Amino acid sequence: MVVDSRLIMGKYFEGESLELILIHGKMVAELAVAVGHTLGLEETEIVFLEEAAMLHDIGVCRVNAPGIGVHGGFPYITHGIHGREILDAEGLPRHALVCERHIGVGLTVSDIVAQELPLPHHDMTPQNLAEEIICFSDLFYSKNPHKLSHRKTIEKVRCSLGLFGEAKVLIFDSWLTRFGKVL
């Protein structure tokens, strides 16, 4: 089954916010697919990477992010769990897990508790290669309307993650070793 990400996203976004979220997804998907090809993944897994990367931020439709034209009732940090709910309801459970597990390099229960995040207390870290690749790829692109196609530098990504502790940077560095040949 091929997933029509534009059709699905169109159910939850409209106008400029739809175009913005699609462009961001396309940038993340292009990098994720390039990583997948470099790793020699099967075509079915490449297709999944593209679909899941295009849909990974669908939960943004429910959060308050006025800078990108979205005025939902929830904090931005919750977009992963909302994305999981939406894609589970759409019958895409594997894609749904990508949504929940793509924040930063993933969120542990310790992260959620220590930062007092308004999230369920369960592990939300990538659990497989596809989830890791999409997390990695997402780190390089912003949803800022003026920076959509600008890839962040490795140092900028490392610096941003460093705000959350050296352990997060070490996860990124391990992914950089495995996936960074395409950069």
Domain with 112 in it: what CATH number? 1.10.3210
Q: What is the mean pLDDT of residues 14-32?
A: 97
Assign residue 50 a region (left: φ > 0; alpha: ψ between -120 and 50; beta: otherwise): alpha
Residue 28 in contact with residue 53, Cβ under 8 Å?
Answer: yes
Give me the number of domains the chain comprises: 1
Radius of gyration of the chain (CA): 15
Q: Is the pLDDT of residue 94 over 80?
A: yes
**How do residues 102-119 score in pLDDT, each as one tens digit?**
999 999 999 999 999 999
Range of the domain at 78: 5-182
Model confidence band, residue 51 (pLDDT cutoffs 50, 70, 90): very high
Per-residue pLDDT, 28: 98
Residue 119 in contact with residue 107, Cβ under 8 Å?
Answer: yes
Residue 59 in contact with residue 81, Cβ under 8 Å?
Answer: yes
Q: What is the mean pLDDT of residues 69-74?
A: 96
Q: Is the pLDDT of residue 129 over 80?
A: yes
∠ at Cα 95 (91, 96), nearest 5°?
75
pTM for this entry: 0.96
Q: Is the pLDDT of residue 10 over 90?
A: yes
